[in-house]
Structure 1
Amino acid sequence: MKQAEDLLFWCISNVTELFNEVEHQSKDEIDRLRKFRTEINTYLDRREKELLGNIQKMKTEDESVLTELKTACELAKGGLADTRAELTSGDVSDNKRYVSARRAQKELQGAHHKIETMAGRMKARKYRFVKDADTERLLWSKMGLGSLDVAGEFVSFPDLSTVTWKQQTDIKARTSHDKFLCWITGSALISPGIFLLADNGNNCVKLVDVSTGTVTSRLHLPDKPWDVCVLPDDQAAVTLPDKSIIHLMSTKEVQLSYGKEIKASPDCRGIASYNNKLYVSYKSNPRIEVMTLDGHIISTFLKDDGKLLFHEPYYLTVSASTPPTLCVSDYSAHTVLQLTLEGKVLGEYRDKELSHPLSVLKVGPGQLLVCGRDSNNVMLLTERDGKMTEILGKKDGLTLPDSVSFCPYTRAIVAGMYDIDSLKVFNAN
């Protein structure tokens, strides 16, 4: 009955998490759609303003020329009327009339010259608004704005407390471009069977395909990386502690390419992403910073009720439970700390079998994997009761493990170790 209750509790937790994923996905995609619609509206407003401005400019210029011509014509006409009146007046002597006639001849010649000159300028531009063909086609398109594509499905994580693990063939992480031993300090799943690795020993990040056991892409970095996390839209991030930067990169089509850099504080270590925010841990002045994808710091977790939270927070992960929580491994305190996303302590977990915890990873509802570096193991932490159970250890070939990742599609655990060129791979029986 106890086993059945535990399984049912796990099933309910899994369904609840999937509900949360569906809710968050709906909100995120609606936000993306409305953001795109706003961008379109802004673009159309700008183009309308530009075109209206062009129309007004042409109208003003043509009206200015025509007004000038009209004024010149009216002045010339007024001059001729004065001359006619002077020539036809009965009160003027013949001598004055003669002089006026001679002057009128010159004025008449000048008036004809002006008329000839003005005739060439007496015109205005004719224009019409021409619809943009691409925009007009958009009005007839049934796919305007975009479409809703099914990109995959949310995976129901297995209850790792009920499975046993079988060791697979090690994967060689070293490539011909590497000069030193590999030190995989961070890893993350980007797609089924494809893991992103931070190779601290060779100043690079790599993609490895567990199904083929090969490194499929390598990207050199300006310094030693520490941890990695996956971002939306085929993006990822890596921390470079000595350079005080977070480097963004593209993982599109399972190939790595450079993105922008985000300025960070010195000794940035662990990194996790949730709801378009980055959570970054720091070894120096131990804390966690919450920032936007542009590097703007939103909040900092340093203390709770006046007490310092961390000693050496090397890694962290976000658990999308209800409500979501932040779990941080504290290396020298030998603990895993659970916080709210506002930095309030919910729980502190430790076990005599866990020494110097490093990589911590959410693997399902209320379940985490934690690397014990000096205890040479991977522990399964159950948040509900705080219980830790060793699922992999020294007997399985683990020596100073630093990073751990899990693929729910292939049900595989991948572990990286200190100064070892290969990755340990284990599949659930």
Structure 2
Amino acid sequence: MDTNFSASQTQDSDDVQEMYCEECEKHDDRYTPAVGFCVDCVEYKCVNCLRYHMRHYKNHTVEEKNTMPQDFYFEKCSSHPKELIKFFCSECEKTACQECKNNDHKNCCNVSHLPTLAKDIKTSTELKSLKENLDKLSNDIKDTKNKLDDKCATMDSLENEAKATVKMHKDKLIATYKQQQNEIIDNFDKKMKETIAKLKKERKVLVEELAEKQSKFKLRISDEEQRTVKAVENSNADFKTLRKKHLALVDDLKKLSAELVQAQPLGLNCKLFLTMKFTERICEKLSQNMQEFQNNFIHHYKVEPKIESKQSIQSLETTTAFFSYIEIHKSAVERTATFHSDIKHLFYGMSSLCLLNESTLLATDYDRCSLAIFKITKKTSQCYDIIELPSEPWDITKLTDNKVAVTFPNETITRLFRSPEAMIRLITFSDLMSVVNTNDIRVSPPCHGIAYSNNNLIVSNEENGTVQILDMSGRIIRTIGKDSNGKPLFTKPWYLVVSPDNTTIYVSDYERHTVISLTVDGKVKAIYKDDQLKHPRQLTVDESGAVYVCGRWSYNVHQLSSDLTKVKILLNKGQGMNSPMSVAYCKNNNTLYVGMRGRNIEVFNLK
């Protein structure tokens, strides 16, 4: 690789007139005086190296110590530290060692041995010309220095004059700027006084305008308040009137009862007769009043602000209504459930529950092919009887106070062929709850859920994913299975129930995790699906229209409004829900019964 001219790397200077053997220095790292020079190899060699070299390279030209090049250059190559710089390339204007020459200058035509080039340098025209140029350059530098000194003196004078001019003008500009600033401040102070006087006058007008607007705003919001309060008071008016009517009748009854008691010992038979008739009439009215009071629901409502309190004055002025009076449907009122008792009867395959009356609860046991009858009292509930059935019962619904309908999805026509057939069995009980009559209705298998409405049976069929309305002989009146787009509505519609007004059918789909509400002509009203409801089973409704559905694998019971809006999770695992399968509601006792697989039936009071 080429190198630039630099300080010696192997010798102190070119004044040292002894050359060492390059072979010994390169391979043995020792310095042995050279006694000869190989012109062909361009290398200085000691006695031994020269002897071996001449033996192997007899045709090489060798110069002895007195005739070999004496103008030595001892710099080492920066790229090849063991190689001396021995060549100069006139084309590249660079020095080179043997390696650099072979590699970097192999295509150059004018690479010469450096000592040979330098042999006659002292008497060369090039050196003489260089010295003359150096002398001329030295004189030019001296001449230039004198001229620069004169110019610097001139520049110093100009600089001093310019600095003085700048400072003087700067002082004048600062003074002018300060003066104009003072004038600006004075003008501003004058305008400020004028503006303050004007603003004070405008403020007075503004305060008067705002006071008038505030008065109107207060009047508007007060009117809105009165209308809202009036709506709230009207919600309670019926109950207040009913209560006054009830109290008046109670007072009349007390008075007539006292007169009736007084007339008996006095022998005033006529007065006693009339008092008796009046008392009977009052008792009849009081009974009607009591029934009216019991049948009336509380009007639930809520009042909410229609706008946020932090509004701009423009928004407040343009708002037409500040409060919203929202009536809450009776079915959407939250209920609370508290544990009352449990019915100690273990069910392994509980399918459904049914309240025959306030004192009788029925439960189907699918695995045991049986129907359990429970006697219900205010304090306890106990098993009354177990009825063995010919096949697995699924769902049960009340027809009358002594009659129920039970579905049997896996009934068979004959024992011989065991052809699959589903059955609806109508069971009639005596006053002592013994079976007095049964009537079978054959339907397409498998028939699961069942409800009774307007002298019709409503059943669900898992195989074809439909809900069917049947007359009491089993004839199909209507089949519901598709939505308005022709898509299937159900996958496993295992249970269903009808609303208190017989206008809505609620169906739980075990596989789709949904509850669907339908009109009796098959139109979908609403669909309830919630992440917290898994595999819904039996569902029931109360007198307000609220729907209660048990989620078997979500371990809870959901309370829904009549339009299938989620009201709350009424019962959960913390309240004992473990694989709830069935649910029934008792209106008279305001009680919810929940049956769980492999466990007792839990009884809860609702408030």
Q: What TM-score do the two structures reach when normalised by structure 1?
A: 0.60
Equivalent residues of 1:271, 1:280 under 8 A apart? yes
Counterpart for residue 296 of structure 1: 475
Residues 293 and 241 of structure 1: CA distance in aligned 2, closer, same or farther (over 3 Å)? same
- Paired letter, 1:248: L
Residue 165 of structure 1, aligned match among 332, 337, 342 = 337
- Paired letter, 2:388: H
Counterpart for residue 226 of structure 1: 394
Q: Deviations over 1:114-158 (max 9, x none)?
A: xxxxxxxxxxxxxxxxxxxxxxxxxxxxxxxxxxxx9xx897497
Structure scoring higher RCO (CA < 8 A, sep ≥ 6) equals 1
Residues 233 and 406 of structure 1: CA distance in aligned 2, closer, same or farther (over 3 Å)? closer
Q: SS of the residue aligned with 2:542?
A: strand
2:533 and 2:235 map into 1 onto residues whose CA distance is 28
Residues 375 and 264 of structure 1: CA distance in aligned 2, closer, same or farther (over 3 Å)? same
- Paired letter, 2:516: L
Q: State the shift of 1:193 in Å.
A: 3.3
Equivalent residues of 1:235, 1:252 under 8 A apart? no
2:381 and 2:431 map into 1 onto residues whose CA distance is 18
Residues 356 and 197 of structure 1: CA distance in aligned 2, closer, same or farther (over 3 Å)? same
Residue 311 of structure 1, aligned match among 461, 476, 491 = 491
Equivalent residues of 2:543, 2:587 under 8 A apart? no
Matches within 5 A, 1:175-214: 181-211=347-377, 212-214=380-382
Q: State the shift of 1:349 in Å.
A: 1.1
2:564 and 2:444 map into 1 onto residues whose CA distance is 36
Q: SS of the residue aligned with 2:341?
A: coil
Counterpart for residue 424 of structure 2: 246
Equivalent residues of 1:204, 1:220 under 8 A apart? yes
- Paired letter, 1:197: A
Q: State the shift of 1:310 in Å.
A: 0.7
> Which deviates the most, 269-278 or 387-396?
387-396
1:312 and 1:320 map into 2 onto residues whose CA distance is 24
Counterpart for residue 273 of structure 1: 452
Counterpart for residue 463 of structure 2: 284
Q: Deviations over 1:83-119 (max 9, x none)?
A: xxxxxxxxxxxxxxxxxxxxxxxxxxxxxxxxxxxxx
Counterpart for residue 325 of structure 1: 504
Matches within 5 A, 1:24-423: 156=295, 161-174=333-346, 181-211=347-377, 212-232=380-400, 234-243=402-411, 244-257=422-435, 258-305=437-484, 306-321=486-501, 324-384=503-563, 386-420=565-599, 422-423=600-601
Q: State the shift of 1:189 in Å.
A: 1.0
2:430 and 2:348 map into 1 onto residues whose CA distance is 24
2:480 and 2:368 map into 1 onto residues whose CA distance is 32
1:263 and 1:292 map into 2 onto residues whose CA distance is 12
1:271 and 1:157 map into 2 onto residues whose CA distance is 30
Residues 409 and 233 of structure 1: CA distance in aligned 2, closer, same or farther (over 3 Å)? closer
Equivalent residues of 1:157, 1:408 under 8 A apart? no
2:358 and 2:386 map into 1 onto residues whose CA distance is 19
Q: State the shift of 1:185 in Å.
A: 0.9
Residues 207 and 324 of structure 1: CA distance in aligned 2, closer, same or farther (over 3 Å)? same
1:228 and 1:324 map into 2 onto residues whose CA distance is 20
Higher normalized strand content (fraction of residues): 1
Q: SS of the residue aligned with 2:367?
A: helix
Q: Deviations over 1:7-54 (max 9, x none)?
A: 969x99xxxxxxxxxxxxxxxxxxxxxxxxxxxxxxxxxxxxxxxxxx
Q: State the shift of 1:419 in Å.
A: 2.3
Q: What TM-score do the two structures reach when normalised by structure 2?
A: 0.43
- Paired letter, 1:383: S
Equivalent residues of 2:557, 2:571 under 8 A apart? yes
2:489 and 2:382 map into 1 onto residues whose CA distance is 40
Counterpart for residue 604 of structure 2: 426
Runs of 4+ in 1 over 4 A off after TM superposition: 153-160
Q: State the shift of 1:205 in Å.
A: 1.0
Q: SS of the residue aligned with 1:399?
A: coil
Residues 343 and 395 of structure 1: CA distance in aligned 2, closer, same or farther (over 3 Å)? same
CA RMSD of aligned residues (A): 2.9
Q: Deviations over 1:391-415 (max 9, x none)?
A: 1110111111110011121111111
1:407 and 1:236 map into 2 onto residues whose CA distance is 16
- Paired letter, 1:368: V
Q: State the shift of 1:201 in Å.
A: 2.3
Q: State the shift of 1:162 in Å.
A: 4.0
Residues 410 and 307 of structure 1: CA distance in aligned 2, closer, same or farther (over 3 Å)? same
- Paired letter, 2:603: V
1:314 and 1:204 map into 2 onto residues whose CA distance is 19
Equivalent residues of 1:194, 1:210 under 8 A apart? yes
Equivalent residues of 1:351, 1:388 under 8 A apart? no
Query: Higher Cα Rg: structure 1 or 2?
Result: 2
* Unmatched segments (≥5 aa) in structure 2: 1-227, 240-287, 298-329, 412-421
Q: SS of the residue aligned with 1:317?
A: strand
